[in-house]
Amino acid sequence: MSHAPPSIAIPIDDIPHHHDYSDRDNRTVALAPGRNEIRVPLSDIESAACDRKLDLARVSSVILFAYELQVPRTRLLHAFRLAR
């Protein structure tokens, strides 16, 4: 039985966040089997909100979550960082 590779959602908020979907960085990443390296340019995160620049010095949350899983999955997060 074949299952589609899982995806993770990664919303990133800053302190001035207005609680609107369009006021943060929202991205979905498909995960391949095995090790995955996800790189997102900070300039993409900074310009993600529709009417302002995200304040990268005031990032308040980075959330990783999976959704619509067809079967239970386990993923290990080895390293995570925000870097210029």
Q: List, for residues 11-33, the tens digit of each pLDDT value.
A: 999 998 788 899 999 999 998 88
Q: Judge whether 23 lies within some domain.
A: yes
* Domains identified in the chain, total number: 1
In a domain, 68, yes or no: no
Residues 6+ apart with CB under 8 A from 40: 10, 25, 27
Strands (E), 6-80: 7-14, 25-30, 59-62, 65-66
Average pLDDT on 43-49 reads 93
**Residue 1's pLDDT is what?**
53
Q: Which domain holds residue 17?
A: 7-62
Would residue 13 count as lying in a domain? yes
